Structures are given as C-alpha cells and as structure tokens.
Amino acid sequence: MAAKRDGRQLRWDSHNAARRQHILDAAIAVLAESAPGVEVHVQQIAERAGLSRTVVYRHFADRADLDQAVQGRALELLRAELVPALSFEGTPVDIIRRVVAAYVGWAAEHPGVHAFAQQDPPGGAGQMEQAIQQIAGQIEDLINVGVEVLHVELDADEVAALDPLVFGLVGAVFTSTRRWLARPELRPDRERFVELLTESVWEQIAGLARARGVDLAPDVPVEALLETALDGAAG
C-alpha cells in the first residue's frame, strides 16, 4: 500500500509541476502580447491557461510568489538565448557582437517580457541582477582562460577587480538596452545599436588589455590566438 501511495504522490507531484509550468508559460504569453509596463492581472493569466484564478493560486502562495516565478521563467528564456553565444568561436569582436546581439534581439522581440523581468516586485528584489551576475560570471571565466593562456600579468588588485568590472560591462549593456527600448522610436535601428554597443564593450576590453602589454587583434580568431599562445608555451 505504501508503494502505491508513493506512486500516486509522484504522479500528483508531476501533475502539479506540469500545471505550474503551464501557468508560467501562459503568463509569459500574456506579457509578450502586452505593452511594456502594463499591469498583467492574474485573471488574464488564468484565462490564457484555461484555468480559474483559484486553481492558479493553488500553485503559488500569493501574487508576489507568482510574479517571482514568472520573472524566473523569463530569465530562463533569456539565458537560453545567451548561453550558446558564450564561446571562443570567432574573433574577439565577433564574440562580443554575438552576445550583445543575442540579448538586444531577445529584448527587442519580447519587450513586455523584458520589462517585467527587470521589475522589483513588491516586498522583494527582482532577479535581473542575479541574472547579470550569472552571465558576468561566465564571461569572467572566458576572460580568465584568456589571461592564463596569454600569460597576462595581473596583480592581486586587478584579479579582485575582474568581477565588478565584468559585472559593470554586462550591466551597462543591459541598462543601455533598456534605455534604448524605452524610446518612442527605436533609433538607431537594432543592427546599428548592436554595432555601437559592441564597439563600446570592445574598446573597454582592448584598452585594459593594451595597458597590460596585450594587443588584442579585433580581426584574429580567438582560437588562433590561443593556439599560438599554447604553441609558444610548448616550445
């Protein structure tokens, strides 16, 4: 009997998890159709999910809990766009452009979801800063690999400063994009905006590298730079 009860409980847990995900996806769909900043009501989410408000609230403690979960789902979707862009494939500028274009493209195509993901819900902090920290951490990991392979000499203060500096670079891209999206007319257009953001990030990284004796060529694939450095170390 205990085994049967356990099996029923597992099936019930699976059902609840699936329904919770269904509600979150319904909320994302409603936000995607809404103008940025427009309040979305639980009733709209319930109707999109084909459920009643009562059923929705069976899966969330209150509206703040629902909002937090929706933010988390929105940021999962954003990370799904950004993670594939975080690799050493291409030139340094290619890599920066790929990451910037992935973020700006997602934000421009989902302005309502993007705006909601950046809100601080009542009674608590939003999750965007945490998302920026995670993305910045992955970028910092890439930079640390480059620093090690290229034998860049960093003192203790410079090593300690990498985290806030990279966080600042990523945060600047997020903040600039939010400001750009808030304009009545998106000028410059998305392609030009991506290029300008890419140039800004590249110049900051290249300038810091030059000051430490490393001349990063913007048009040489990073993989080739790393191979050259590894061959030199082996020799």
pLDDT tens digits, 118-130: 887 665 556 788 8
Contacts of 107 (CB under 8 A, 6+ apart): 114, 177, 178, 181
Tell me how far apart the alpha carbons of residues 21 and 211 are, in angstroms, rounded to a whole number: 49
- Which of the four pLDDT bands, split at 50, 70 and 90, describes residue 104? very high
Angle in degrees, CA 160, 165, 169, rounded to 5: 160
Residues 123 and 208 grouped into a single domain: yes
Cα 170-176-177 angle, rounded to 5 deg? 95
Work out the percent of the chain whose per-residue pLDDT is above 70: 91
Mean pLDDT, rounded, for 162-189:
93
**Pair (225, 164) in one structural domain:** yes
Residue 116: CATH number of its domain: 1.10.357
One domain for residues 98 and 181: yes
pLDDT, residue 156, reads: 92
- How many structural domains are present in the chain? 2
Annotate 88-127 with b (16+ C-beta within 10 A) or e (fewer): eeebbbebbbbbbbbbbebbbebbbbbbbbbeebeeeebb
Give the pLDDT confidence of 74-95 residue by residue, as tens digits: 999 999 999 899 888 898 899 9
Residue 49, domain CATH:
1.10.10
What's the burial of 138, exposed, middle or buried (CB within 10 Å: 0-12/13-18/19+)?
middle
User: Which pLDDT score is estimated for 235?
Assistant: 54
Residue 67 inside a domain? The answer is no
- Its domain, for residue 132, covers 75-234
Q: 195 and 230, same structural domain?
A: yes
